[in-house]
Amino acid sequence: MRTLRVVLALAAACASDVLDAPTFFFIGSSKCATSSIAAALARHPAITSHAGQGGQGEAHVFDGDHRAHVKNAKALLRRLQAKLRKNPKPGALASMEYTPEYLFEANHVPACLCGALQLTAAARCANRRFLVTLREPVARAVSSWQFKSRAGGGETRSFRRVVEEGAALARGMRACLRAHGGGDRAAVRACPIDRYLTPPPHGHHQQISLSHVGKGLYVYQLRAWFARVPRERFLVVPIEQFYANATDGLARVLAFVGVPALGARGFASAHALKAAAEIHVNDARPSLALRAQVTDALKEQLAAVYAEPNCELDRLLGFATGYCARARKRDAAPGVVTERAVAKQASGTRTGVSVKSASIRAVAHSTG
């Protein structure tokens, strides 16, 4: 009933106006190379973004305190469109709204977002596209904690406390889901992610940004999104697979959002495509003191938290992310790899421009 009231309130707020909408939404997950890939997409000549060609800056229209946002839905939508209009690209074929927190706030963002789209010109959640990037969850949690532990980041807890609290929250989430029948819509509604997987006070936006462990439980977030938006409207990309061949990875993403990789409406050359694919921003350089807190024992503890959900994730997606514990060697300890290290390691396996123009065009004509 609460979700229905949210949608009805949003409809009432927007009923007097018809607004356009982005053609695709880049919804997360945070600390999964989202800033780098958003910058690459914004550089494409046929993609316009609220953040301009640099691709930096997040929209945050539909997240946060959703009740306040429902009240101001029309103004918020107009603000988003004003941002897009400030960064026009002649002949643009696609427009991007980028907010990596949306994936985690899966119990109310889809309702607000889809409710808004229903009031725009020929726009529905069912014909928008949603891009999601993932990262090995232990590495993601470490990166998130280190990033937020810097001055001004808002995180004051030790890594040990983060792991212990995150593990307890994950157990609570699984218990709630079991009590309500698993992963169907009723369970998704009964076990809201922003309540069960955030540090107390639950659901507060600042606490959501500190959900270092919870954000790596991707299966719960995606299951909640898939309950609102058809699965085929999503492209889910593990960044380890993306950076195994970043040029091919970007070409695949471009095909999914409906723009060509190369040619008159694409990048001018394979070299330009490769340069965009290899953009890296927001590389964290944690202090020695922060790094010292991330012990092998705590990483093992985190890996145990993620083991079962990672395998559930593979079953939900229908492909191997590489995160399922059964896919690892028994004696392999989980490593913590930076985004740049993932890309650098992958680049060592190839030389020059690794994708021929013909293969890029073939990918670009696929809908993913």
Return the active site residues.
31
| Tokens encoding 136 | 């090995």
Binding annotation: 135, 143
Using DSSP bridges, classify how beta strands 234-238 and 47-49 pair: parallel, antiparallel or unpaired.
Answer: unpaired
Using DSSP bridges, classify how beta strands 24-28 and 47-49 pair: parallel, antiparallel or unpaired.
Answer: unpaired
Cα–Cα dist 337/60, whole Å: 28
φ/ψ of 25, rounded to 5, equals: -120, 125
- Short-list 50, 36, 94, CA closest to 280: 36
List, as one string, the DSSP characters of 337-357: --HHHHHHHHHTT--S--S-H
Amino acid identity of residue 325, one-letter, is: A
Binding annotation for 3'-phosphoadenylyl sulfate: 135, 143
Are the beta carbons of 354 and 245 closer than 8 angstroms? yes
Sheet holding 24-28, edge to edge: 47-49, 94-98, 24-28, 129-134, 234-238
Cα–Cα dist 154/210, whole Å: 8
Amino acid identity of residue 156, one-letter, is: T
Cα–Cα dist 247/275, whole Å: 8
